[in-house]
Every structure is written in C-alpha cells, then in structure tokens.
Amino acid sequence: MRLRQHLGLVSSPSIYTSAIARFGNNTPHRRRTTRSRTMSSSASDAAPFEKPRAVVKKVLAESQPEGQGATVRRSIGRHELRNLDPFLLLDEFTVSKPAGFPDHPHRGFETVTYMLEGAFTHQDFAGHKGTIKTGDVQWMTAGRGIVHSEMPAGDGVHKGLQLWINLSSKDKMIEPRYQELESKDISRGESEDGGVEARVIAGEALGAASPVYTRTPTMYVDFTMRPGSRLHQPVPEGWNAFVYVVDGEGVFGRETATAHYCLVLGPGDGVSVWNRSTRPLRFVLVAGQPLGEPVVQHGPFVMNSRAQIQKAMEDYYYGKNGFERAGQWSSSA
C-alpha cells in the first residue's frame, strides 16, 4: 500500500528521471525495490533511493525583530545557515498592524512570499499593487530594481514565509517581474493512499507541477502528512535542499524535528519522511541548483562583487539603472 505511493512519486518526468532509470535498470538496488513490492507494507517503508539524503544540520529559527515592529523567525540567512547556495534567506514572519515592512529596495535576487495565515498588501514604485491571502504566493523577481512596501491587510495576526533566492550574474539586472498564484490555483498532488498532500509552489511533487518559472532552478513544496503516513520525495542530485517545519512533528531521514526547525539535507537523490506522531505534520521542502558564484550582500542588495554593491547603492540613491522611479515614490496608506 505504501509502496504504491513510491511508485506514484516517480511517475512524473524530468526531475525524477534518475529514480525512473533505477526502476528500469537491473541494479542491485532494483532487487530490493522489487522484493519490497511483494512483501508486507513494513518492508516497503524502505527508502526507494540509492542515496537517501540525511539531515546534516538542524537549527531552531528563533524570533528576532525585523522591518518596522515585525517579528521573524530566520532560518536560512542566520549565522549558522549561510552559504546554502542559491538560497539567501528564509523568514517565517508574524505581523500585526501597524507593524510591517515599509518602503525598501531590492536588487539581484527573487523574493517568494507564501501566506500561511491572514493577508499582506504589496505596493511598488511602478504601480503594482495587490493583496495575497492565506495560501497565496507572490514570486517576485526583483532583478535590476524594485522598491516596494509589504504591509499586513486588516486586523489580526498575519503569518507567512518569505524565501530569498539568488539570481545568477546574467540575471541580476533583468527587468523586474511578478508571478502570482492564488491558493485555488496552486497545483496539489496527493499520495495514492491519501496520507500526504503536496501544494506545489515550484517544481513537481506527487504528480503535480507548478506553472511558476524559476530562473534559478528551484523546487518548493508545502507538504501536509496525516499521522502514520510516509513520504519518499525525490530531490534532484547536486541541488542544495532543506526542510522547514511549519507545524507538528516528523522524522526526516533519522532526525526528528518540530515546528520552526530548519533541517539542511546532505547529498543524495531523495528524502524520506515519516509522521510518527498523532497530529498532522506540515513542512516545506525547498531545493535549488547552486549558482557557484561569489555572493556579496548588503541588506536588500545581493550582487557578485563589492563594486556592484557600491553601484547598487549609488543607483538607488541617484535613481538610476532601474531605480528611476525611486525618488518621487512612496507607498500610500
């Protein structure tokens, strides 16, 4: 029963090619897979991966002040979790009015905002304005320059995740672009036994694929697992990958983690997860192809050299090279 779940996982093309190749090849590993197909469900719990990814680092994202009166739990980007190329930052934000992230610039990377609860309104200097609600995603490619505000819409508590993905040197100065996904339009995959649901923000999982175009190849999936369920999720080899637990408790490889823990995964072709608890488990799995380029960051500017950072600050200050509208613009209440 659980094995069918593995097979379902390898039914889509592209990033699962290595797993498919394994099933079709007469490797020693195939024998194990074939055998488990005919054995009890406990035997099929064995990972179908040649090189299962293990947790190599486990860090609790502690709360810290950020923006104007806002609080974030920073995982990627904190001291212990730097250099997870192409990822620069992951903040779990919790914000109530009047706190927020008022007018600020970005250059050289992408921000992906995923709402967990409540709503956020964004406004930028080019007249883009919108509100993302629970379950919605805003995928913003800042490129050469964006100045915007990100503020809670309405009363109460507003929560979400913001991920920063670096852009390659050839993409850092592209025109800004937005990709927005409403919750209802997010592709959902489900394991065959219904124990696991995937909301696919980028890439593919459980037979569902996201329409988001990722300039830096990225996989971003929000998984919810029922008590007792298991997942064997392929993750492209050579990509850096991590898990961030949103709610509940799970076993990732051999490591157990609860909410607000970030788990960096080591090399391999997939990760196995087990919800051994009696409550639902929710986590995001994020993976990306490393850029392998120098990273020089100064707050919201991320470039390849000190000189380019200097240039970004000048461009912002003098309103040049993408920041032309920065001078006269400010967000409205």
Binding interface with ligand FJE (CB under 6 A): 66-67, 72, 91, 93, 101, 104, 113, 120, 150, 162, 299-300
Q: How far apart are CA 190 and CA 123, in angstroms?
A: 35
Q: Dihedral of the CA atoms 264, 266, 270, 275 (nearest 10)?
A: -40
Q: How far is the CB of 111 from ligand FJE (least distance, A)?
A: 7
Nearer to ligand FJE by C-beta: 67 or 322? 67
Q: What angle separates helix 28-38 from helix 17-24, to the nearest 10 degrees?
A: 80
Extract the tokens encoding 308: 């380019």
CB–CB of 61/262 below 8 Å? yes
Please say whether the beta carbons of 328 and 127 come within 8 A: no
Q: Are 323 and 145 in contact (CB under 8 A)?
A: yes
User: How many C-beta neighbours within 10 Å does residue 85 have?
Assistant: 17
Cα atoms found within 13 Å of the Cα of residue 76, Cβ hemisphere only = 27
Identify whether the C-beta of residue 196 lies closer than 8 Å to the C-beta of residue 152. Answer: no
CB of 163 to ligand FJE, least distance (A): 9
Is residue 148 part of an annotated ligand binding site?
yes
Give residue 57's identity as a one-letter amino acid code. Answer: K
- Continuous H helices in the chain: 2-9, 17-24, 28-38, 306-318
Cβ distance to ligand FJE smaller for residue 66 or 237? 66
6 is in an annotated binding site: no
Q: Which is nearer to ligand FJE, 49 or 120 (CB)?
A: 120
Q: Binding site annotation covers 122?
A: no
Distance between CA 300 and CA 232 in Å, rounded?
36
Q: Are 19 and 9 in contact (CB under 8 A)?
A: yes
Q: Which of 157, 110, 156 is nearest to 137 (CA)?
A: 110
Q: Measured in whole angstroms, how far is the alpha carbon of residue 53 from the centre of its chain?
A: 17
Q: In whole angstroms, what is the distance from residue 131 CA to residue 114 CA?
A: 12
104 known ligand binder: yes
312 token code pair: 């970004």
Annotated binding site: 104, 106, 148, 150
Could you tell me which residues are annotated as the binding site for Fe cation?
A: 104, 106, 148, 150
